[in-house]
Structure 1
Amino acid sequence: MIRVASPVPAIEAGPSDAPRPEEWDDLFGRARAPHPHYARHVVEAHQRAGLAAEALRFVTVRREGRLEAALPYRMVRDLSGLGGRVARPFLSPFVTATAPLVADGPDAVFDALVAGLGAASGGRAWRWPLLSLDGPAGAGLVAAMDRAGWRRATVAAFERPVLDRRPSHDAFLAGHPHRARLKDLRRRAKRLSEAGAVTFETAASGPGLERAVAAFLALERAGWKGAAGSAMACRPEHAAFARALFGPTHGPVGARADILAVDGRPVAISLALTGGGTATLLKTAYDEDRRACAPGLLLEAEIVRACHETAFADRLDSATLAGSALESLYRERERVAEIIAMPPGRDALSLERRVRLARFEHRARDAARRRLGR
């Protein structure tokens, strides 16, 4: 730990082991617009499934002994460092946001966090993907980096669909910028109803949630992801993660499964995590034999309706990458970027060269995906 000079007394920051469960949960409850990926339940689900080291390292900030910020991270060898080691927030195939958990409070906590980042990396660069620049934690982080004289640049960025709940569903529909999409969904919903009785239901705990997760794994595996070997059920550790993530929860993060069914048979299932007023929609699977009816998007529209009618969340986070179908349904956007940030001091590689290498890696991966797609 390092002590940081600050007008706020007794702030300490630096690399550490995982926070204690009770203080970790307490931090999530006080965090500025927290996302679930770095909540205790989600990180522990990764560890139980073998997707994260049990001794995962954290950068933490404590003020007068109380946990004020936490970020799980790793030191990895990376192309942006020509194979040298860089620091990176914890990632898995299921992590879609990487902002640190930071309690609501003085900006001095962000300043201490940035000092802790430099100590954790040993002065090396940070490669930081999936950072929300519009969220209070991401915005506060980059502002503190700037104050501390860090050099940073954007590798890539996109706008992620999010939805802020209105007073009513009618208010959400009023003046919607994609009226044609809404009309198309009504047409597809009518077509789906011709196949049988269409129902929408939600499971949030117990046997109902367990059955929904099992049905999701089967539905996803039956589609193109199963044929490609990328469905969660195709990999034992991914299936184990799903069961751990949506199993019994203890703490501020909850689970939710929304199911659209025809004559009792699921045709689309969405799995989400809830906490801090936000529902993060992690995974959706649908019956590809009914693709013409767009059951996945119909389910998303029902989730929007339920959000307004039951107020189960103040915000829906699509948790998507660029090009999501939800861009035509959700009305707000959140800027998400990958940045490279370097602490003050000399470095063998310039920031500009690191960014060029990272962008080259993106282009190579995109080309590989296109070839596999063909």
Structure 2
Amino acid sequence: MQEADVVDISQGTPVPRSASHNAVPHLLPSITALDAQAWRDLAGRVVEPNGYYLPEWTLAANGDDRGRSVTHALMAYDSSGQLTGLLPVLSCWHAFRLPLPVLVSADPFRSLDTPLLDREDGLQAATSLLAQARATGARALLLRDVARDGEAMQMLSRAAQAEGLKPVLLRGWSRACLDATRDSEELLRDALGGKRLKEYRRLMRRLGDHGEVRFSLAQTPEDVARAYDVFLALEASGWKGRRGTALLHRPELAARLREAAVALAARGACEIVQLRAGDEAIAAGIVLRHGDRAYFFKLGIAEQHARLSPGVLLTLELTRHLCADPAIKLVDSTAAPDHPMIDPIWRGRFAVGDVLIPLRPRDPLFGPITLALRGREALRQRAKQLLKR
């Protein structure tokens, strides 16, 4: 079946078939072909951290047959050949099944797509990433789930504006984050109040009826490997297991992420936290680390203890743990906006958005592209609302 043109219904401007999904990322290297050590070195020098774009995690998340074949990388280098910028990308066809000449930041979990930019040469790196995207024939670069107010986005905006290009915010939202520089007890009192904290202490005592309650950290590769399997079982015991979306139902992906978690633990970039009652695991969560930030990736709880709010109890202990760590300043919850569990506890807000950057000044195709992507997002949000009902 032929692909129809995408039309701006307000202006009647078609996106021609010649500007299809075939026009873009084949000119870029696959992420599997990148020098992992150069990638790790860049991650240690970035202007803004992103634990989800550490090489071990990115390669695991995009590591199935399809991901390896369609996930490429925009890269920037300085005059000495040192890697100074990196952004994994897909074509718009592979991301959305839309035949648009757009490169889209790659992240199957929709976690955080902030590019890695060298702190010493970030503006030049941002300029080079845009130039490389343009050289593929793409007409726009879509950054999904990017930190809107972060330094990396500021540098990309400056690089775009220097070329007469104006980025467009397609959708913006905020999610919970933790200011880990604060005293944890003061922060929790401010967020929850004395009455609710007293109730959570009561639930912790109730949990103690099943054995001594302990908050534990898995930080060595060996401990993380064992704790990861505990997390998988807990996640699959709840609604994600019933819906079939738990990682345990995707064994190849679960195995790749397990390897990534173990490898990152060897570099101090991953830990798994657990709440146990006696010998029983009640809740577990995966936490990534990069620079002065941490990222709460996923949480699994023992469904049979749901009435005791194990996810909340684990999050309270995680809050105390991370606030006590001088290396961590901010923790991204990676949660959906208005999340009912974590929003009342972590009252900070992390601004995230989908930002579309044109790659040519006054490009007549940019308007139709913007309209098509906004229309797709509107349909996606409507579908999510209907599913919730």
Q: Which amino acid aligns with 1:269?
A: A
Alpha-carbon distance in 1 for matches of 2:277, 2:143: 42
Deviation at 1:322, TM superposition (A): 0.8
Tell me the residue number matched to 1:152: 167
- The residue identity in structure 2 corresponding to 1:344 is R
User: What amino acid does structure 2 have at the position aligned with 1:258?
Assistant: V
Please state whether the residue corresponding to 2:74 is helix, strand or coil: strand
1:7 corresponds to which residue? none
> Mean Cα displacement is larger for which, 284-293 or 242-251?
242-251
- Report the CA distance shift for 1:362/1:123 in structure 2 as closer, same or farther (over 3 A): closer
1:76 to partner: Cα distance: 2.6
Give 2:19's aligned residue.
none
Q: Which of 268, 276, 280 is 1:265 aligned to?
A: 280
What percent identity do the matched residue pairs reach? 25
CA distance in structure 2 between the aligned counterparts of 1:73 and 1:271, rounded to whole angstroms = 25
* 1:130/1:48 CA distance change after superposition, 3 Å: closer
Aligned counterparts of 2:334 and 2:268: Cα–Cα separation in 1 = 16
Post-superposition offset of 1:224: 1.1
Aligned partner of 1:188 in structure 2 is 203
Gaps of 5+ in 1: 1-13
Provide, for residues 178-203 of structure 1, a one-character-per-residue CA deviation record: whole Å limited to 9, x for no partner: 42654543343343334432111010
CA gap of 1:266–1:250, structure 2 versus 1, over 3 A, is closer
Residue 347 of structure 1, CA deviation: 4.4
- Deviations, residues 27-52 of structure 1 (Å, cap 9, x unaligned): 00001121122221112323555462
Q: Match of 1:246, SS?
A: helix
User: For residue 290 of structure 1, what is the aligned residue in structure 2?
Assistant: 305
Partner of 1:86: 102
Pair 209,66 (structure 1): closer, same or farther in 2 beyond 3 Å: same
Residue correspondence of structure 1 range 1-374 to structure 2 within 5 A: 15-16=28-29, 18-50=33-65, 52-53=67-68, 56-64=71-79, 65-77=81-93, 83-93=99-109, 95-106=110-121, 107-120=123-136, 122-166=137-181, 168-173=183-188, 176-179=190-193, 182-249=197-264, 252=267, 254-311=269-326, 313-324=328-339, 325-345=341-361, 347=363, 349-351=365-367, 353-374=368-389
Q: Partner of 1:248: helix, strand, or coil?
A: helix
* Pairwise CA distance, 1:123: 3.9
Do the aligned residues in 2 keep the contact of 1:150 with 1:343 (CA within 8 Å)?
A: yes
CA–CA distance in 2 between the matches of 1:79 and 1:56?
10
Cα RMSD (Å) of the superposition? 2.7
Q: Which has the higher helix share?
A: 2
CA contact (8 A) 1:48 1:244 kept: no
**1-side partners of 2:167 and 2:220: how far apart?**
43
Contact 2:40 2:55 in 1 (8 A): yes
> Per-residue CA shift, 1:333-361, capped at 9, x if unaligned?
2210012221224645443x434433332
Map of 2:11 onto structure 1: none
Alignment length (residue pairs): 357
TM-score normalised by L of structure 2 = 0.82
The residue type paired with residue 270 of structure 1 is G
SS in 2 for 1:327: coil
TM-score by length of 1: 0.85
1:305 Cα deviation from its structure 2 partner? 0.5
Q: Is the 8 A contact 1:16 1:60 kept in 2?
A: no
